[in-house]
Amino acid sequence: MSTERTRHTTTATTPPPVRAGVIGVGSMGQNHARVYNELPGVDLVGVTDHDASVAQQVATEYGTAALEFDALLSECDVVTVAVPTHAHYETVSTCLDAGVHVLVEKPIAQTVEEGRALAEQAREAGLVLQVGHIERFNPAVQTVMELIDDLDVISLEAERLGPPVDRTARDDVIFDLMVHDVDIVGSILDGPPSTINAIGTDDGQYATATMQYDDVVASLTASRVTQKKVRKLTVTARECLVEVDYLEQSVLIYRDSYPEYLTDDGPNRYRHESVVENARVDNGEPLRHELESFVKTVQTGVEPAVTAEDGVMALQTVQDIAALAADETPHREREREVEA
């Protein structure tokens, strides 16, 4: 598809605004529209949706235009694609054909093969294709990423738990929730797992996975049937233990744990003492950080913080986890050696 695109002129001292659009303005797409509208140096030129009335409502709220898909692409430098997963491949491919940089909400595509094809298309076109694994931009995660190179990591444990969003939300919890932690663990350990063991229950609404990364073990649990919302990551290292709370955007570091016997005119008592450090976290909205990073990547030509290849790796891993979790074989046999 070829599209003639409007060009902005500029002076040598004032760069033109980045012209942004949003394709699919459901709950997540609306947030993208809001943040683009707030970012300095970005012009939200329009939104589109299969429901024209929803697109018009969002456009009115943020002072932009509700456009047809092709018309939006002709006006944009960058777009967010926030359509249902089954439409990711066709939508993203069309955007890339039009010469538009893309941030696509996770997962990158419905299948690994589609994800790889999109990665190759973007690479050949010299365009940015960033995948919306938003937890990478959680300030608490970014703080941990700054610490991790100095740690001898032994294990990672992630919990992403909560009650059903509504009675009709029946998406597989592995693809909907656990994928976030799969991506975080993969980014911390810089690669895919070598082996995976997984089990699930309650019609795909609760699952656990244990993954081996060389000499590091990662244990992930995701649930949509737990009556408390939990979003936590624990890093066990030889030097310390790090606890990350995604919701509170906090990082606690436990160091120098040592046993102590207490005698207070009675029987001996035993306790452990630790030095607890509350790491500094520059709190902020992860989505804003994500879109700022995306726009900066487009402007500077650097590699995206979350590449298409990262998105493919996460998708491959959650597909393997889901296949194992749904398996009817005995639990001890539910293990898969991951292809290199």
What is the per-residue pLDDT for 168?
A: 53
Beta bridge partners of 210: 197, 219
**What rounded mean pLDDT belongs to the chain?**
89
Amino acid at 74: S
> If phi over 0 gives left and psi between -120 and 50 gives alpha, with beta otherwise, what is residue 288?
alpha
Beta bridge partners of 275: 255
> Residue 4 pLDDT more than 80?
no
High-pLDDT (> 70) share of the chain, %: 85
Give the Cα separation of 23 and 46 in Å (integer): 9
Any idea which residue has 């491959």 for tokens? 316
Question: At 285, is the secondary structure helix, strand, or coil?
Answer: coil
Least confidently predicted of 254-268, 289-303, 321-335: 254-268
pLDDT, tens only, 33-86: 999 999 999 999 999 999 999 999 999 999 999 999 999 999 999 999 999 999
Any idea which residue has 């990423």 for tokens? 145
Question: At 168, is the secondary structure helix, strand, or coil?
Answer: coil
Give the Cα separation of 4 and 73 in Å (integer): 10
> Residue 148 pLDDT more than 80?
yes
In the chain, at which residue ranges do the beta strands (DSSP E only) sit?
Answer: 18-23, 42-48, 78-81, 101-105, 129-132, 153-161, 195-201, 206-213, 216-223, 230-237, 241-245, 250-262, 269-278, 335-337
Number of neighbours of residue 204 by Cβ within 10 angstroms: 18
Q: Give the pair of three-digit tokens for residue 43.
A: 């012009």
Give the dihedral sign, CA 287/291/297/303.
Answer: positive
Contacts of 250 (CB under 8 A, 6+ apart): 140, 244, 278, 281
Q: What is the reported pTM?
A: 0.86
Give the dihedral sign, CA 188/191/196/201.
Answer: positive
Beta bridge partners of 236: 155, 241
Q: Give the pair of three-digit tokens for residue 281.
A: 């976290």
What average pLDDT does the segment 304-319 reach?
A: 96
Please say whether the beta carbons of 2 and 94 come within 8 A.
no
> Residue 178 pLDDT more than 80?
yes
Give the Cα separation of 94 and 27 in Å (integer): 23
What is the per-residue pLDDT for 69?
A: 98
Altogether, the residues listed in the chain come to a count of 340
